[in-house]
Amino acid sequence: MENTLLTQRPNVPGLAVFVKYEDMTPIENLWRICYMLKNTGNQNIVGEGIQSSLVTKGHGLPLYTRNIKQIIQISATDNSIAELKDNTLYFKQWLPDECITIEALVESAGEKPELYIDKRDIINAKVIVKSNINK
């Protein structure tokens, strides 16, 4: 996961910086999150049907948030594996070594924001989180 703070309060007396997204109220603590999910196992993760590897049995793999006040924009990029709807990933099969990349613009609630999946949502899964250093 890579988190990048896009807005900072300048340390210059008299200077103020404001960010707005599509005429919304001003956004403080705007972050860009890039979250890459990779099937590092040696088995397919089945997302649909009675053989589903998901606890929700066909109702997708939920994305959870931590320290996020609001999600401004979120999408699954550079993949033909999954579709992202309502912060849930839907897929038929996720093969070994395949990746799903999630990119989001979020307003944090003050702390470093996070997107994550719960390892208990995938049957017999081991979730390893690798973070890049904040930029």
pLDDT in tens, the chain (135 residues): 677 777 766 667 776 666 777 776 788 888 999 999 999 889 999 999 889 999 987 789 999 999 999 999 999 987 789 999 999 999 999 999 999 999 999 999 888 999 999 989 999 888 777 765 443
91 is a domain residue: yes
Asked, for residue 15, whether it belongs to a domain, the answer is no
In a domain, 134, yes or no: no
Write phi, then psi, for 117 (nearest 5 degrees). -110, 155
Confidence (pTM): 0.80
In a domain, 128, yes or no: no
| Residue 50 located in a structural domain | yes
User: Across-strand partners of 61?
Assistant: 89
Q: How many domains does the chain have?
A: 1
* List of E strands, the chain: 2-5, 30-38, 45-46, 61-62, 64-66, 68-77, 82-85, 88-91, 93-94, 99-108, 114-116
Domain that holds residue 27: 2-9+21-121
Kindly state whether residue 47 falls inside one of the protein's structural domains: yes
Q: Quick check: is 46 in a domain?
A: yes
On whether residue 89 sits in a domain, the answer given is yes
Cβ(32)–Cβ(67) below 8 Å = no
